[in-house]
Chains A and B, each alone.
Chain A
């Protein structure tokens, strides 16, 4: 399965009238999860999050594509 690179965030059953809303909903939750953490704690949280999401994606081909995109320009 190719990696999904088009906007793809949504909450099932939720009606959106503005296309930026689901992305903003997620982004706010992401930043909120880091609230009051030290930089080291945030790094650990991010690492755990990547591992959880990788398991959700499952497809190692797609994950390798994601790893390459993330590495670009770093």
Chain B
């Protein structure tokens, strides 16, 4: 007898579809519907979260810029410019170069001619006028010594400043304590920034938790009824957590977009000065900051809902 293949619905697959559809409906569609219904009670949380997340994003970007600035300053401070006297003999300059290159504390030595020094000076704000005021090139040739450890710069300065090839009036660029002063200022700014960020974070969490708690408190009867008719805990929690995530995600998206837009405007408006004052803040970094703000919003919103809901769950 010829066999007949009958294809029918696989019941288990159908059941999985029904369960998945029900879960999606309760957790996500229900949450979205409730979110729109409760928009008026969610508005304070949304507003305060957006503002606080935006400030957090801006301060975070500023912190990163400060860190990068500190790195640039540290790099510059470990370069010692040893100025050559105009009448220095090539042999003397070579001898000094060799002595420095062989020193284990030195990473590299480069020679900058007078004309190169002039070109470099013309790129620094204020110095082109000084260069133009003089008929001859006032900038000396130099050996640019990259010192491995910033703490050895002073010792290298002592070693070279009395060399025969070195200008006796302005022997080196070494300024005792300059780097330490910059470091102290940046450290102070970083501590103040971190403290402000922590305070802002605390305010953001407190305001958000309280706003979402108030919104959930106004719906405590709903939570109680869901539990009384036998809804498991995840089904009671789920929609509220997703609602919180929608609020937080929306606040994060707005705050992240504004943060990104502000950074991009800064980059586009004054590319050279912006890069000087906020080094390392590129479009990629701004996008990463926006994504972090968005993720923080999501986490803050859903976490706040979860915490706020605990007091309304039966024990």
The finding on whether chains A and B are genuine partners in a shared complex, rather than unrelated, reads no
User: Which B residues are within 8 Å of any A CB, using their own CB?
Assistant: none
